[in-house]
Amino acid sequence: MDASPLSDSDSLAPRKRLFGRERPIHAVLGGGKVADVLLSRDTRIFAAILFGSAAIWLLYKVVQYNVVTLFCQLFTATMLVIFIWPTVAEFFNWGSVSMTSKLQWRAAQHPSLGESLHWRQVETTSDLELHTQLKELIPEKHGRLNKLKSKHGKVELGNITVEMVVGGMSGLTGLLCETSLIDPEEGILFRGLSISECQKLLPAAKPDGEPLPEGLLWLLLTEKVPSNEQVDSLSKELRRRATIPDHVYQTINALPVNAHPMTQFATGVMALQVQSEFQKVYEKGIHKSKYWEHTYEDSLNLIAQIPVVAAYIYRRIYKNGHVIPMDDSLDYAGNFAHMLGFDNPEMLEFMRLYVTIHSDHEGGNVSAHTGHIVASALSDPYLSFAAALNGLAGPLHGMVNQEVLVWIKSVVDECGEDVSKENLEDFVWKTLNGGKIVPGFGHEVLRKTDPRYTCLREFALKHLPDDPLFKLVSDLYEVVPPILLELGKIKNPWPDIDAHSGVLLNHYGLTEAQYYPVIFGVSRAIGICSQIVWDRALGLPLERPRSVTIEWLENYCKKPAQD
């Protein structure tokens, strides 16, 4: 059971002395994001006494008011200022322990209440600064984690089998990731919210439009759904941070134009690393409790800069180097599409949806885990994300959407666009019997159709129902799973997001499949950087699991038989 947010943060809260008694300021006032004169209770009390004394003197001398009555009324007014104001301040979420935080704590005490309180995450504060929101949340989270370790550190989470050790640690619970969680039946949950809930709750660029990635970034970092004003403010901040040093372009230009887009992308991120704020302050010496703040600065800079770098690479490879500048009137994903060269409003909406739903997928996938383990060595976000990109470039991870489109086009080349389901079944069997896989089907964790796939399918039904490749994807959804079930080699035969995303990009004119992992990488920066910020905020240690040899496993497995 979680501790109350008040009790968890008492030891960390700023303290003020009132009439010789120390109390946490939020215990009475709420911590304060109001005018400075209201931040200190001592200041307010002094002002109230001064004002009251002056008023008594004026009314007594000028108006000849009854002294006793006057004193009683002014005393009452003074007490109202001192003691009623804190309640009002907290009600409007001016305190460091907000009404939303209290609702979350109370919901944790009553699970049935918590399940009906997705609305509890809706942001109510008027503070537009993401850093401030995050800074207030960290002490509470840190306290909960310390309490969890001290009370339940020895609780076992399951058994480790030989199959897990030699099978890529599949099914092994061994990581902490605050930003998202994969439910085998429900799919990805961003801070407890499903994709459909995010589509309803996160701010959009237009009424009934797709969610803005800036809103998801806010949600991942603060676990609160931001307001439109907060998302607008964050969009402006990211545009302000999006300046790229000339040496980055020079470094990319040193590579052959025909180098794989992901090679150029990872190189560009490494070139950005020379501006790392974390590295600079770490070399000078900094307390570990401050690591997260400089990690946050690097992360927001990186998130802001990589769409510009990615668009430059696309224009360099495919458009003769003609670069399109950023449009200050557009949001994060809209600007990315614009810099790539696409201004179709539908394409901008699709890019907003794409970046949002690709941004995070808990901590165990190749790119997220790579980013986490590299960052656990206190490598800065640039180094960590560059490593993550190299994992994302693999054919079994971020390159799958590229492989899907290539495979689908091979179906069209051999069977035509109007291929029958019978001929499609034959082609699938031909692929499998040739020792290959059908790309985009089967997920390591999910046990049903990926909700991200469903989300993209709904978008396609709305905007491009007659696209020939979309129709082919729909037929594959009916044909492939029964065949994979018949083989009996995978637990989940259903399609994941990669089975659909490439077809949509192709429809809107982005036909260069080799570039698709770069778009995935731009999206994934939001999740990986958010995870790294929280890794440093919680003080997570260096990751160092133990490894064993085949001989060690053989000897260990013989022990029960000998006993």
Q: Is-catalytic flag, 498?
A: yes
Residues 82 and 48: beta-carbon distance below 8 Å: yes
- Rounded to an integer, what distance in angstroms lies between the CA atom of residue 347 and that of residue 328? 18
State the amino acid at position 385 in one-letter form. F
The CA angle 57-63-67, to the nearest 5 degrees, is 55
- Rounded to an integer, what distance in angstroms lies between the CA atom of residue 506 and that of residue 423? 24
Residue 116's φ and ψ, nearest 5 degrees, are -100, 10
- Rounded to an integer, what distance in angstroms lies between the CA atom of residue 35 and that of residue 413? 68
Residue 491 DSSP one-character state: S
> How far is the first Cα of the chain from the last one, in angstroms, to the nearest whole number?
41
Residues 222 and 137: beta-carbon distance below 8 Å: yes
Q: Which of 358, 361, 372, 443 is catalytic?
A: 443
Q: Which of 360, 498, 500, 535 is catalytic?
A: 498
- Other CB atoms within a 10 A radius of the CB of residue 358 amount to 23
Q: Is-catalytic flag, 443?
A: yes
Helix (H, G, I), strand (E, B) or coil at 389: helix
Residue 16's φ and ψ, nearest 5 degrees, are -125, 150
Helix (H, G, I), strand (E, B) or coil at 188: strand
Helix (H, G, I), strand (E, B) or coil at 201: helix
Residue 301's H or E segment, with its range, is helix 291-318
Residue 29's H or E segment, with its range, is none
Residues in Cβ contact with 548 at an 8 Å cutoff, skipping those fewer than 6 apart = 165, 556
From residue 41, how far is each of 25, 50, 282, 469 by CA, in Å? Answer: 8, 14, 37, 66
Q: Which of 397, 450, 500, 535 is catalytic?
A: 397
Residue 418 DSSP one-character state: T
Residues 474 and 421: beta-carbon distance below 8 Å: no
Length of the chain: 563
Buried b / exposed e over 199-225, threshold 16 CB at 10 Å, is: bebbbbbeeeebbbbbbbbbbbbbbbb
Structure token digits, residue 92: 């409007």
Q: Which residues are catalytic?
A: 397, 443, 498
